[in-house]
Structures are given as C-alpha cells and as structure tokens.
Structure 1
Amino acid sequence: MRGKAKKLSAKHQRFVDEYLIDLNATKAAERAGYSKRTAGQIGFELLKKPEIAEAISEAMKAREQRTGITQDRVLRELARIAFFDPRKLFDADGRPLPISELDDDTAAAIAGLDVFEEYEGSGEDRALSGYTKKYKILDKNTALTNAMKHLGMLREKVDLGLPAGGSLLRVEFVEAGKQAQGETHE
C-alpha cells in the first residue's frame, strides 16, 4: 500500500488483488478465502469499507501507470475500429497499400494480414509472379455496439428470473370487513 491508506489485513489485501482480476466482488471474496455461501454479501460489504475502496483505487491507478491502459485509450482504440474506412486500405487505382503506408487509425482496425505468393509455370520454369494480400479487419459492428453500450445507448436486459408474464409486485384485494378479522378473499 502506498500513501496514507490504512494497512490492510492479509485477507483484505488478497481481496483487493483478486478484485482487480475481474472486478467481481463475489468471486474476489471466494478467491480470497471467504465462504462461497457468504461471498456475495462479504464482497459487497468489503467494497463499502473506505480503506478497501482506497486500496482498490490506488491499485487501479498503479496498474494504469504500469500498463498504459486507460479508459480513454481503450475508447480511442474502439473508435478506430468502429469508424474504420476500408477505402483507406487502397490507393487511387484500387490496389492494396503496403501495410507500412497505412495511417495509424487504419492499421489499428486490422486484425491480421495474409500474404500468398503466386507462381506462373511449373517445374524449372516456375517463377514468382506476385503476391495476393488479404487484410483481416476487426469487427466494426461489435466495436459500434460496445461504444453504444458505453454511451448508454443500449441497455442490457436484466433477467429477474420471473415466470413468463410474472410481475415484481403482487397485489391482493381484501374485502374491507374481512381485513379487520384477518381473513382475506381470494
């Protein structure tokens, strides 16, 4: 721990370290050695402790510094894929540009490049006649969907485990005279 943060117990520090793996408090509590049965509640409670929240924040900042991976950088890369223009792969005559001539935004949208040698003739007369290049592009639709989720344009469907047509609120009507006697009408 750095800074003015309180010293954590070994188990709490383990929770912090495990939480950074997937940002799932329940799984982090389990991996830190808490009971699987109570891990959900314990994970929730641990996240509310100021010293643990501070330790998580410091650890995330340290990781960001070490790796250079920030939310802004991830979003910039996502935008490069989402707004990729395939015309930038070709010259004015429609020939693929050498990969070394692609701008950074275009290159960032490429997942891979396959190069195939082409030959003419056979046997001793066989000669290299050229290359076929195939660019593999990252999925633009997935990038756009992820960007839309980040911006709140798409909402994840939450499964509440209700039966089809079920509701969250159950309303029962009781006849006025029978309510006082503890009887209900169904």
Structure 2
Amino acid sequence: MPVLTNSRHEAFAQAIAKGASAVDAYVQAGYAPSRSAASRLSTNVNIERRVAELINRGADRAEVTVARVLQELSRIGFSDLRRAFDKSGRLLRPEEWDDDTAAAIASVEVVTRNIGDGEVEHVHKIKVWDKNSALEKIAKHLGMFIERVEHSGGMSLNVTSEDAEL
C-alpha cells in the first residue's frame, strides 16, 4: 500500500506503527485531542492496512526469526574460545575471528604493562557471553525440560445422581 494521500492520516498511521496510543497518534498527526475521533480513525480500513504494512516492513528490516535467534544462541552455547587464538597461543585480531567466535565474545580488554628495560607486556582479558543461559534457552525451545508443578492440599469432588445421568 502506498503512502496515504492524506498527510495527517499518514502521520497517524506512522505514530501508531511506532507504538503510540491512538489518542497520542491523533495529536501527533496535528488533530485536537479527542478520544472518540482517535478511536474512529484507528478503525479506518486504510489506516489499519497502512499500519500493518509499516509494522511488517519494520519486522522484515529487523530480520528477527526463530531460526536467527536459535543460530545466535547456538553460537554462544557451542562456542569454543580456542578459535580466538592462533597455533602459538596468541590472540587473533577480531577481524580474523570466524562469525561464530565473534558472536560468542562479549568484550576484550587489553591491559598494557611496562615490565622494565623498555619491554611492554600486553594482557588480554576476554569475556564471553553466558553459555549456560544460551544452552538453557535452546533446550527449553526444543522441549528438553519438563517443568513440574506440585500442588499441595486436598481436592474433593462431589458427584450427584443428576451429574451421573448426563
């Protein structure tokens, strides 16, 4: 659906799509505050279609899908910090990390120390995202955990002859 020809209607739809209430969107579009008029305008078929289009377009841009979320959680949950280092044990530059390693590392802190005689020592502190949390979320998504709820107390059921006949 193209941009609405009525500029106030377009502004109203844009504000609704961004999460504003109908009354706030109505005022932002340049109208005087009116709860009933805002409610009526929000049910206009063209407005509804335009809001749906704007929301869908935003979701497409965000590219948030279940598969993408699971991929990112998997990168954290199954990460191997050894991939951040070369064969001699030196930390690779971040641009040399593969995508999975880069996604698993939350931050790198480099501390430079003067150890005397003009020599400098670099200490790298690497912080990774919480693997346990990522794995737990994946497991819950896969239904691997069964959450049990215990109920205490008694329960009684009274059945009358009228119930039995049904």
Q: In the alignment, what sits opposite 1:29?
A: none
SS in 2 for 1:84: coil
Tell me which amino acid in the other structure corresponds to 2:85. Answer: F
Give the Å deviation of 1:134.
Answer: 1.2
Aligned to 2:157: 171
Matched, 1:90 2:85: yes
Which stretches in structure 2 are left out of the alignment for 5+ residues?
3-11, 21-34, 36-48
Where does residue 148 of structure 1 map in the other structure? 139
Figure out how many residues of one structure are paired with residues of the other and give that number: 127
Give the superposition deviation at 1:155.
Answer: 4.0
Q: Which residue in 2 is equivalent to 1:182?
A: none
Alignment equivalent of 2:124, drawn from 119, 128, 133: 133
Pair 1:74-2:69 in alignment:
yes
Using the TM superposition, give the Cα deviation of residue 96 of structure 1 relative to its aligned residue in structure 2, in angstroms. Answer: 2.2
Are 2:95 and 1:100 aligned? yes
List alignment gaps of at least 5 residues for structure 1. Answer: 4-9, 19-32, 34-53, 180-186
Q: 1:58 to 1:91 in 2, by over 3 A?
A: same
Q: % of aligned pairs identical?
A: 37
Question: For the aligned residues, what is the CA RMSD?
Answer: 3.8
1:90-116 residue CA offsets vs partner (Å, 9 max, x unmatched): 222223222221111111100000100
Q: TM-score, normalised by structure 1?
A: 0.52
Residue equivalent to 1:38: none
Determine the C-alpha separation between the residues in 1 that align with 2:18 and 2:91. Answer: 49
The alignment's TM-score, normalised by the length of structure 2, stands at 0.58
Q: 1:55/1:70 Cα in 2 relative to 1: closer, same or farther (>3 Å)?
A: farther
Q: Using CA pairs under 8 Å that are at least 6 residues apart, name the structure with larger relative contact order, 1 or 2.
A: 2
